[in-house]
Chain A
């Protein structure tokens, strides 16, 4: 049992690490606006799947690390991700019953909220984007959600993460 728990944490950490690598991978500059919010996606999945394991504290730590990677104001992504996790925690029972498409719709909303909060903090700092382009990641995140869902679910079942 103990062995398995250690195992489980390893899988969650590995998926988060992969999400961070995807989040900082260099891609052409014009594509950057549409980069899915990988870390938010991983966080949403794990919160829905294991709400007793992954929660607000995970969101806080994940957000702080993302802030450091992005060079953003310390707390920008943390604030956004904590909010997203809170929403997920209150919605997870419903979200689990949804079809993939419905879930993708919810992911669109959740990542949209994430982007709005980030934009708000960036505006405080004076570097916010002047157009609505900052909402593009919400669309792309919803599009890649099925991929994330099936990959992470397969991993979770294979390694029996509970």
Chain B
């Protein structure tokens, strides 16, 4: 009993059990793999045993989608070049493109109060603690635990997670905290007269140095301005499909990106004072 109690204290208070945890994770990985077998088989049969017409249809759809995306990326190249020139004019460092690694989901934390995912990439693939995680639509969370072949990610909606964000429209900075309910973030300490509206896109600000800047995080869905309170209550819905994505991207941000984001932030003076560290 005492042993277990001291374990809890050691883990919670002093974070001393990293190696034990990662060893236990390796033991648990096959269990997650087994539990994931059924959906994996379904996916496999869907891709391998589908009719020719459906395959052709999908092929056509993807070709169209690819064309559209390529068209957009052409424009993006021009914009990026322009951005680099403008940044040159402003004497700030150039933004570099982030490298990504595709990882597959092999499990979700069975505990409903913990919003965590288990991924099939680990230390051997270069995954590290604190690494940001995105999907096609937006930021999902960050890696909190790494073992040799698997890793564990904390979602942005977890009650213990917060992330520095910025309103895409005007650059107002804030901190978005998880509420513990999937599909809801709360933007904390936004003073009642701050320019923030329903429908505003929140992107990562890059402050705090953990998340690279510019990734979409959430869309503001509700704002409550109570004159009796100092701060407005701002609720946002995450962009990423937190409970649906099966393939996710781990972002390797080059060091200079962080530096660029930091200097960019410093240049844009803003009246809203917020704490930076999540």
B20 x A65 contact (CB < 8 A) = no
Which B-chain residue is minimally distant from A136 (CB atoms)?
A: B112
A20: which B residues are within 8 A, CB to CB? 28, 31
Interface extent on B, as a size class?
35 or more
A68 CB-CB contact with B under 8 Å: yes
A60 CB-CB contact with B under 8 Å: yes
B27: which A residues are within 8 A, CB to CB? 65, 68
Given A21-B34, A24-B107, A71-B145, the answer on whether A79 and B8 have CB atoms closer than 8 Å is: yes
B116: which A residues are within 8 A, CB to CB? 71
Task: Determine the distance from Cα of A24 to Cα of B21 in the docked complex, in whole angstroms.
Answer: 17
B107 x A78 contact (CB < 8 A) = no
The secondary structure that dominates the A interface is helix
User: Within the complex, what minimum Cβ distance (angstroms) separates A46 from chain B?
Assistant: 18
A70 CB-CB contact with B under 8 Å: yes
B121 CB-CB contact with A under 8 Å: no
A25 CB-CB contact with B under 8 Å: yes
B32: which A residues are within 8 A, CB to CB? 24, 69
B7, B10, B110: which contacts A32 (Cβ < 8 A)? Answer: B110
A75 CB-CB contact with B under 8 Å: yes
A68 x B35 contact (CB < 8 A) = no
A125 x B12 contact (CB < 8 A) = yes
A29 x B31 contact (CB < 8 A) = no
Task: Determine the distance from Cα of A121 to Cα of B17 in the docked complex, in whole angstroms.
Answer: 17
Which A-chain residue is minimally distant from B9 (CB atoms)?
A: A75
Q: Which stretch, A5-13, A99-107, A126-134, touches the partner chain B? A: A126-134
Interface 0/1 of A79-95, CB less than 8 Å to B = 10010000000000000
Given A23-B110, A24-B31, A69-B28, the answer on whether A124 and B12 have CB atoms closer than 8 Å is: yes
B21: which A residues are within 8 A, CB to CB? 68, 74
B35 x A60 contact (CB < 8 A) = no
Which chain B residues in 1-53 approach chain A with CB under 8 Å?
1, 3-5, 7-8, 10-12, 17, 20-21, 24-25, 27-28, 31-32, 34-36, 39
* Those 3 A-B pairs whose CB atoms lie nearest each other, nearest first: A68-B24, A75-B7, A75-B8
Residue pairs across A and B with Cβ atoms less than 8 A apart, 24 shown, are A17-B34, A20-B31, A23-B110, A26-B36, A26-B108, A29-B182, A32-B112, A33-B112, A60-B4, A65-B24, A67-B24, A68-B25, A71-B109, A72-B114, A74-B24, A75-B11, A78-B7, A79-B8, A122-B113, A124-B12, A126-B160, A127-B113, A129-B112, A133-B112
